[in-house]
Chains A and B, each alone.
Chain A
Amino acid sequence: MNLSFFDQFSSPCLLGIPLILPSLLLPALLLPSPGNRWINNRLSTIQLWFTHLITKQLMTPLNKAGHKWALLLTSLILMLLSINLLGLLPYTFTPTTQLSMNMALALPLWLATLLTGLRNQPSASLGHLLPEGTPTPLIPALIMIETTSLLIRPLALGVRLTANLTAGHLLIQLISTA
């Protein structure tokens, strides 16, 4: 059968096991849990320093109440980083090229931010639908535009990650087979 360039993204199966299973679970092996000591080995120290750097970058602009998002966001960053970097090795499968995985992450998290905002500060979050300084005749159109852009956001973000990774892998394959 003739292979098109997109066939590298079909979920591979080996001996009846869908390979997305190990490609999602095994990057966690690269993050060994440090033991109960003050000072651990060098790998754990470097990863701790890196995690701390990421958390600081995320949490510095936020007040104390925003710090409860630290674990969720840092672990999301580390998971996506490890999965995407491991996908650069030859013969590996990158699960983030699958739109299903990116939508599975994007939709619940976007909905969580939307509902949290609506619950804690309902008028302020609805007020974000109209930018400041809008001329009065434009207000209805702009509210509809902002609502549409809000509702499309998870699809846009999920497709953005999928498309970027797919384009990168396609480019690598095209250059190598030129």
Chain B
Amino acid sequence: MPQLNPNPWFSIMLLTWFTFSLLIQPKLLSFTLTNNPANKITTTKPTPWTWPWT
């Protein structure tokens, strides 16, 4: 199986980690979100109201 040839293993390892840490991660850091992460607030129920038809 050609995948088991150990010659390029070190360079593939270096290349993978360089791509992963120096290319993809900074790109992902620029995906900023506008809200702070927070859990869903389940304590307040919506108060019902009547629609004024007149």
Contact = CB atoms under 8 A, between A and B. Distances in A.
Interface of A: 6-7, 9-11, 18, 20-21, 24-25, 28, 31-34, 38, 44, 47-48, 51-52, 59, 67, 71-72, 74-76, 78-79, 95, 97-101, 103-105, 108, 162, 166
Contact of B31 (A47, A72, A108): A47
Main secondary structure of the interface of A (DSSP, over half): helix
Interface in B1-34: 1-6, 8-9, 11-13, 15-17, 19-20, 23-34
Contacts of B17: 104, 108
A24 B21 CA distance: 12
A74 B27 CA distance: 12
Interface of B: 1-6, 8-9, 11-13, 15-17, 19-20, 23-34, 37
A104 B14 CA distance: 8
Contacts of B15: 20-21, 24
Given A28-B27, A52-B33, A18 B8 contact: yes
Contact of B19 (A25, A51, A74, A97): A25
B2 A20 contact: no
Contact of A76 (B3, B20, B31): B20
